[in-house]
Amino acid sequence: GQNIDQPTEMTATEGAIVQINCTYQTSGFNGLFWYQQHAGEAPTFLSYNVLDGLEEKGRFSSFLSRSKGYSYLLLKELQMKDSASYLCAVSLNTGTASKLTFGTGTRLQVTL
Amino acid sequence: DTGVSQNPRHKITKRGQNVTFRCDPISEHNRLYWYRQTLGQGPEFLTYFQNEAQLEKSRLLSDRFSAERPKGSFSTLEIQRTEQGDSAMYLCASSLSPGEEQYFGPGTRLTVT
């Protein structure tokens, strides 16, 4: 079966740095995505890692270690608008498809 | 706005009624996905289309659920004889190719009373 774990909730201060971890146990791994989801809205794409290492995109960076089944999302210079759920999703290669298996999400609260 | 649209945005129905949702993906995307999301959970995969062909269905998709994508463009998801447990956000996503990011629509929130 597929198992993806991430913390349920995190709190951080505006301007700080926060790291959201994700561990996974899956078969047919084809890449790992991070999505941001504000309450009542659809998930929006943040990052994609298919090879080991760090991918940086502005204030957001994502890291992947395939051998450890581990990823993290790093958010720098936190802003109040970053308060949202952050979803870790593993892309599974099922032949012609790459369906996403999501974790339960980490609800991040940014405070003053 | 990702370019994926869904209608209706909200649907309230009584138990036992049938409902149908529509998804219009990004026009050049030939892959279309349906997910279901309940409060406090991540989206769960329901089914997937490549063009008009439905290539995979989750075991979550009981025989009361049916999805179509007749011309390889928009898709519909129908739920027959709705149950209270069907209350959820139904999300549609599309992508250009496997392994590329999926773009999600705003979702249809279904409430079964």
Six token digits for residue A57: 């995109």
Higher pLDDT, A28 or B91: B91
Residue A11 pairs in a beta bridge with A109
Contact (Cβ atoms closer than 8 angstroms) between residue B98 and residue B33 = no
pLDDT of residue A97: 59
pLDDT of residue B100: 80
- Minimal CA separation from B18 to chain A, in Å: 24
Q: Assign 3-class secondary structure to B94-112.
A: EECCCCCCCEECCCEEEEE
Check whether A66 has a pLDDT greater than 90. yes
Question: What is the C-alpha to C-alpha distance for residues B50 and B66, in angstroms, rounded to an integer?
Answer: 16
Considering only A65-74, A93-102, B90-99, which range has the smallest mean pLDDT? Answer: A93-102
Choose the closest CB to B43 out of A43, A45, A96: A43
Q: Which residue of chain A has the CA closest to B6? A: A42
Question: What is the C-alpha to C-alpha distance for residues A108 and B1, in angstroms, rounded to an integer?
Answer: 22
Higher pLDDT, B53 or A95: B53
How does pLDDT run across A7-36, given as a tens digit for each residue? 999 999 999 999 999 999 987 788 999 999
Percent of chain B as helix, strand, coil, to the nearest 5: 5, 50, 50
Choose the closest CB to A104 out of B33, B41, B50: B41
Six token digits for residue A89: 């999703």
Q: β-strand B103-104 against A3-5: which pairing, if any? A: unpaired
Segment 10-49 of chain A within 8 Å of chain B by CB: 30-31, 33, 35, 41-45, 48
- Minimal CA separation from A31 to chain B, in Å: 7
How does pLDDT run across B66-87, given as a tens digit for each residue? 999 998 899 999 999 999 999 9
Kindly list the residues from chain A whose CB atom is less than 8 angstroms away from the CB atom of residue B2: 42, 44
